[in-house]
Chain A
Amino acid sequence: MPLPVRRSVRTVLTYLALFVAIILSLFPLFWLFLTSIKPKSLTFAIPPAWIFPPTLENYEEVFLYGPFSQYFLNSLIVALGTTAIAITVGTLAAYAFARFTFRGSQLFQMLVLVPQIIPPITIIIPLFILFRSINMIDRTPSLIFTYLSFTIPLSIWMMIGFIRDVPRELEEAALIDGASRWQVMWKVVFPLVAPGLAATAILCFIYSWNEFLYAVILTGRNAKTVPVAITGFITNRDILWGRIAASGSMVLLPVLVFALSVQRYLVRGLSKGAVKG
Chain B
Amino acid sequence: MLIAPALALMVAVLAYPLSYSFWLSFHEWTLRGFRAGVPLVWLDNYLELFGEFEFWRSMRVTILFMVGAITLEFILGMALALLLNVGIRGRGLIRALILLPMMATNVVIGLGWRMMYNFDAGIINWFLSLVGIPPVTWLSSVDMALPSVIIVDVWNTTSFVALILLAGLQTIPDDPLEAARIDGASHWQAFYHITLPLLRPTILVALLWRIIDTFRIFDVVFTLTGGGPASATEVVSLYAYRNGFQKFDLGYASAISYAMIAMILLVAFILFRLIGRSEQIF
Contacts and interface: CB of A to CB of B under 8 A. Distances in A.
B254 interface: yes
Interface stretch (A17-25, A62-70, A166-174, A191-199): A17-25
Interface string B2-17: 1101110110111011
Nearest to B216: A119
A260 B115 contact: no
Contacts of B20: 125-126, 129
A252 B10 CA distance: 30
B270 to A, nearest CB: 14
B55 interface: no
Interface string B78-116: 011001101010001011111111111111110111011
A89 B109 CA distance: 32
A77 interface: no
Contacts of A122: 17-18, 21, 254, 257-258, 260-261
Contacts, number: 249
Contacts of A21: 80, 83, 94, 98
A155 B36 CA distance: 42
A28 B155 contact: yes
Given A89-B6, A115-B14, A44 B120 contact: yes
Given A126-B16, A126-B20, A149-B13, A119 B83 contact: no
A96 B1 contact: yes
B264 interface: yes
A120 B216 contact: yes
Contact of B100 (A93, A96, A259): A259
A267 B95 contact: yes
B245 interface: yes
A148 B9 contact: yes
**Chain A contact surface mostly:** helix
A234 B106 CA distance: 16
B106 A121 contact: no
B137 interface: no
B143 to A, nearest CB: 23
A245 interface: yes
A256 B86 contact: no
B214 to A, nearest CB: 11
Nearest to A97: B3
B30 interface: no
Contacts of A51: none
Nearest to A123: B17
A81 interface: no
B104 A117 contact: no
B108 A248 contact: yes
A210 B121 contact: no
B213 interface: yes
Contacts of A129: 20, 29, 250
Contacts of B53: none
Interface of A: 11, 14-15, 17-18, 21-22, 24-26, 28-29, 31-32, 35, 44-48, 85, 88-90, 92-93, 95-97, 108, 111, 114-130, 145-146, 148-149, 152-153, 156, 206, 209-210, 212-213, 217, 227-228, 230-231, 234, 241, 244-245, 248, 251-252, 255-256, 258-260, 263-264, 266-267, 270-273, 275-276
25 contacts: A28-B101, A44-B120, A45-B121, A46-B120, A85-B9, A89-B9, A93-B6, A117-B212, A123-B14, A126-B20, A127-B13, A128-B250, A149-B14, A209-B105, A213-B241, A217-B245, A230-B107, A231-B223, A252-B108, A258-B103, A259-B99, A260-B100, A273-B209, A273-B282, A275-B209
